[in-house]
Amino acid sequence: MKKENMGGFEQEDMEEIPHWKSKTGSFLSFIKETVFIVIAAFLISLVIRFFVIEAFTIQQHSMDPTLFEGERVLVSKLVYRFSPVEYGDIIILKSPMRSADYVKRVIATEGETIEIKDGDLFIDGKQVDEPYVKSVDVSNYGPVKIPYDKVFVAGDNRPNSLDSRIFGPISEDDIIGKVFFIYWPMDKIGFVN
């Protein structure tokens, strides 16, 4: 049997859905959609955190004055899948000596010979200007040729840095990612050079 609806059009006679069933169905649908969205957002955030970008809090003074203790940074975990580690990169690495991660600057890469004479850095026999170094440590190191798939790291605050001068070159596999952005404190928000 056909029935005329409010718009004047005919429609097939349908069993009427009780009012309470209609609301319950839409409420359950809303709950299902909300749970799906929350789970999807959680999974996406996990993928981003483990494979793309992660936030870190600086917990040492070894990178003063470039990065200070308590500052918060974003680290790209993908960058070294597409480009090599380069001199000057500031990285987060798995600590070879403690449970906490370290933040350091790459000062030599595979195949280069590093030497530190009276606090001055030499790469392949040429002195390197390091304007970011807070205070010079007049110690000596090397010469040492950096092996394949390794990098040499040091803090910008050399006298107060536990780095490759102590534990040697690190494997590129121990690099968590490259620091690229400071997001706290507010007055330092910006990209890391």
pLDDT at residue number 107: 97
Q: What is the SS3 string spanning 141-192?
A: EEEEECCCCEEEEECCCHHHCCCHHHHCCEEHHHEEEEEEEEEECHHHCEEC
CA distance 164 to 171: 11
Integer CA distances (angstroms), 179 to 152, 154, 193, in order = 16, 15, 9
Domain ranges of the chain: 20-51, 55-191
Under DSSP, is residue 97 helix (H, G, I), strand (E, B) or coil?
coil
DSSP 79: H
Which of the following is catalytic: 77, 104, 150, 178? 104
Task: Say yes or no to pLDDT of 65 above 60.
Answer: yes
pLDDT in tens, 13-52: 555 555 545 556 688 888 889 999 999 999 988 888 778 8
Is 104 a catalytic site residue? yes
pLDDT at residue number 7: 55
Tokens, residue 179: 């620091």
pLDDT in tens, 136-181: 777 899 999 999 999 999 999 999 999 999 999 999 999 999 999 9
Is 161 a catalytic site residue? no
Q: For domain 55-191, give the fold.
A: Umud Fragment, subunit A (2.10.109)
Which of the following is catalytic: 62, 77, 161, 178? 62
CA distance 160 to 96: 17
pLDDT at residue number 136: 74
Instruction: Output the average pLDDT for the chain.
Output: 87
169: amino acid identity, one letter? P
Model confidence band, residue 190 (pLDDT cutoffs 50, 70, 90): very high
CA distance 122 to 104: 18
